[in-house]
Structure 1
């Protein structure tokens, strides 16, 4: 098909002609700001879909579209689609259509929608965010909450949209104001986890902005209606309101935080809707009942929260390690680099990726209490669980920076106690099995507490190649040996717990010589986040002295890194079998 002559113009000439009719109402500087702005559209259905085209026609040229849905026939009454789009991903349809409007627009498509694994990067990229995440289901509500958590942390403004009957409510959460609370304190993580999604939405929308026609709709929902009715005229209204706010906020104009337009109330003659005293009383009663329902208790958390959280997870790539932390590289061999970086040195974005990496692994092997994760909307341990003096041990692929393994050398608990002091702080293993756990371990009693450490978060990527997988495991053990041998740490012993056929076998195999303590029942409460780790598993507490490390064995194991694949796997199988026998001999 022959291109129109205007499409063949150079980019600047095209844009000048394309935006010509904006002149006079949008200044040149405002137009430039819109053109350069990075705009994240989270949700491309009714409301989000309506704002995309208005922004592009107004001159926006850098958009990220995030939506995990594809078009269905029942979307056609209000969404920007045609029948041939049924079954197609919404982000792909919009990318195709917008390029037909402006061939120079840059659109990135995220067909999994907002997820725990892309939200930080997307929010960091964005100058402003349009939150049109579908909250008619629990999973959408969770991702909306997560989007706002990250936006608040990164101080980005968020424009939201709620279409109800013929009305559109558009609140603005300008988290550039560092004092603004998350969602203005209208919802907590526990609320999101347990409330009916529409119940949660009713908490986010002030009473005066809920049109009267929605009361009957909510009553139908409570009676079992499994979808929410929506109109084109309300959905498309967001395109106008949302785009106006985007343009004004990008250009520094103050805007209203609560914006509301009800077309029926605005345009229908007043006498057509005159209410009797009885009708007004009934309306007031409906509002009171709605507020009581919205503020009422939630139910159970969704047992599939963790499944959704880890479904699309892929280990991150961290090429910045080689660039930003070359002095923290411990070792490099077999195409793998090992780094040791303290929490105080490490960028918090990377710290969160490491915690997410460990959390996903623990979720997949059943170590995570699903109910507690859901109630806290936890996709990783909170950053507050890390101490500034924790040291991250990170293994990455030299070719592409992929994260291969991660562990934590925990910070010293105290530099003013000895291990045998009854008043010293407790290690996590003692919280799990009892403070008297090491009472009879005379070899540790006189050691300074700062010289006794605990290993935390030992996790590896799930690699298809068994030889690479083996090398990663050996490299992680070798990195620990190199790290704890450094005199500035003053480490002389370890305490901890682990499964006999995993952590303890690997420590024995490398020559760390762990000393197993008798099996005990866990003392952790049933609602503890990590209680499932101790249920039905042979998790043993242990201790070890670094002076008893078998240096020759450690050297022999480290040398395996350089062997060819078949020889490596053969020797590894034999060595691990021997390590298992050594552990059994202690029992």
Structure 2
């Protein structure tokens, strides 16, 4: 890399020594090395985030991740680090190029989609300190800001924010490192993010005394329909200095102020005459009261396009970490690896990826209640919906580690009660269709609850390759068969629900012989996250005994994996057709 920069011909170490020489005396060698090695995430590379990047690089930071989904426009030039030839270019790409011209050894990872539900966990986990400069003038930015803080709060990382207003810069620090600070300091919750005007939400995050007088006229213009926010280079560049100072102090474990504020005009302009000032103070007090009433006012409806934004950049994840779970490997066949991993043994980030995979699938087929997802800002089911004893059945491509299929073998709800007990908790399918759902199924009544499992989250990747898609489906069923046949789990029966032409047909064609219960209406409330799964669809509850599995048919279906492509598809279509006829006979 250094050979491409005629200004320097030495190695990285000698470059860094010379590059940071003038820091010596004010920044110790130990502090300088911490800055050099620190992983710094800058979320948002516009006016505030962009101002801090160059200061950090010139100060000696060499490990940066930049996330911004924007490109430069001419009206950015009054305050952002750009030139005319950058118009239309990605901000991430421009900074990568320009910072490399300052320090040829700087390591910059760019994320041109910005912060998304699918990269935020990995970025926050990587980072030692986080700069939150996400543009919150729109709904999507506010949502991603909140998500960034959610993940930082969970991972106990410090977050430095910036708000440029007129000639002032407000820099709060959300120091989540010791686990005592509430998410966003308790100033904003998920439903408020979902329903408040973005500037209304921002006003809740900024103390009244840190909103400069000039912003009141700007807020009035916004409420009258102005479709952009005025910003000055004076304030934006302040963040580069303030934010970089805080980064260095946080990395070196120095205590910092949680509220930092500089108003250049207030600081540098002479005060007005006392009689004018008194008159102004009364007017300002009235303005601040009005602003606070507006900020604390009610929100409106949630945004109906939340799920669309959440799914926009989703790509099937690579999960090479699963190869570390060799003890839970069920089989490797047809280029697919199948795992059965108890939830209590699976790393949290991997579990969230699996829940996200299922959530995206359910959202795309219309199972998710969009209003509930928006109001709770859900990009996947909460991890709290899983039990430590739940078993994740996961299929990945053996070579690439791409996620191909996922389902959950839900844990028993009680270890000591019989299935017939009125005191046992409800299964999920009973929550959907009623507590009396299995009352007439004599075969289940004498079985211990611990021996009855529930099928959940049966999802496959949306693949263009019909042969691979077929093999994934067979492997997922085969994985279920292997797990339920394992005496360690002590399983005697399954319960669940599914649509006739999807889950129920597949279970039948594999030989599981699901016993369908009479059709009935769902009793899930309209505001339930999965209410839409049961609206306008023929979703049937079922049960099955493992003793009734047609093992010979299951062997025949698994043997299809050894056929070549055309033969596999032909045989599969015939088997599924027969399964559909068997189901029709039950109906």
TM-score by length of 2: 0.98
Cα distance, 1:466–1:284 mapped onto 2, change above 3 Å: same
In 2 relative to 1, CA 5–425 (structure 1 residues): closer, same or farther, beyond 3 Å?
Answer: closer
Question: Which residue is 1:538 aligned to?
Answer: 538
- State how 1:399-438 maps to structure 2 within 5 Å: 399-438=399-438
For residues 247-287 of structure 1, give each alpha carbon's deviation from its aligned partner in whole angstroms, at most 9, with x where no partner exists.
11111221111100000000011137973433221110000
CA distance in 1, matches of 2:456, 2:57: 49
Show the counterpart of 1:192: 193
Aligned to 1:65: 66
Q: Which residue of 1 aligns with 2:104?
A: 103
Counterpart in the other structure of 1:332:
332
Residue 320 of structure 1 deviates from its aligned partner by: 1.5
Q: Conserved in 2, the CA contact under 8 Å of 1:152 and 1:182?
A: yes
Change (3 A) 1:272 1:261: farther
Question: Using a 3 Å threshold, how does the CA distance of structure 1 residues 31 and 281 change in structure 2: closer, same or farther?
Answer: same
Listed as ranges, the matches of 1:289-438 within 5 Å are 289-322=290-323, 324-438=324-438
Q: How does 1:59-458 map to 2 (within 5 A)?
A: 59-271=60-272, 275-322=276-323, 324-458=324-458
Contact 2:40–2:130 at 8 Å: present in 1 too?
yes
Q: Secondary structure at the match of 2:304?
A: coil
- Distance 1:143-1:369 versus aligned 2 partners, 3 A rule: same
Contact 2:429 2:496 in 1 (8 A): yes
After TM superposition, give the deviation of residue 6 of structure 1 in Å.
3.7
Q: Is the 8 A contact 2:5 2:104 kept in 1?
A: no
Shift of 1:420: 2.0
Q: Report the secondary structure of 1:523's partner residue.
A: coil
Query: Cα gap change, 1:138/1:274 in structure 2, threshold over 3 Å: closer, same or farther?
Result: farther
3-state DSSP class of the match of 1:424? coil
Give the 5 Å matches for 1:508-587.
Answer: 508-587=508-587
Question: CA distance change for structure 1 residues 455 and 3 in 2, over 3 Å: closer, same or farther?
Answer: closer
Q: Secondary structure at the match of 2:457?
A: strand
Distance in 1 separating the partners of 2:567 and 2:170: 66
- In terms of mean alpha carbon deviation, does 48-57 or 2-11 score higher? 2-11
Structure 1 residue 366: Cα displacement: 0.5
- The Cα shift of 1:127 comes to 0.8
- Give SS of 1:260's match: strand
Give CA deviations for 1:315-336 in whole Å, capped at 9, x if unaligned. 21111211x2111111111111
**CA root-mean-square deviation:** 1.2
* Unaligned ranges ≥5, structure 1: none
Q: Secondary structure, in 3 states, of the residue corresponding to 1:541?
A: strand
Cα distance between partner residues in 2 of 1:399 and 1:201: 46
Cα deviation 1:506-526 (Å, max 9, x = unaligned): 000000001111211111111
Give the structure 1 partner of residue 10 of structure 2: 9
In 2, the alpha carbon distance for the partners of 1:32 and 1:427 equals 55
The count of aligned residue pairs is 585
- Structure 2 unaligned spans of 5+: none
Q: SS at the partner of 2:272?
A: helix
- The superposition leaves residues 349-399 of structure 1 with CA deviations (integer Å, 9 ceiling, x where unpaired) of 111111111101101111000000011110111111110000111111110
User: How far apart, in 2, do the equivalents of 1:74 and 1:391 lie?
Assistant: 53
Distance in 1 between residues matched to 2:6 and 2:356, nearest whole Å? 51
SS of the equivalent of 1:488 reads coil
C-alpha distance 280-446 of structure 1, shift in aligned 2 (>3 A): same
Distance across 1 between alignment mates of 2:585 and 2:237 = 72
Q: Secondary structure at the match of 2:345?
A: coil
1:6 and 1:14 in contact (8 A); partners too: no
- Structure 2 distance, partners of 1:524, 1:130, is 42
Q: Quick one: structure 1 residues 43 and 272, their matched pair in 2 at CA, closer, same or farther if it must change by over 3 Å?
A: farther
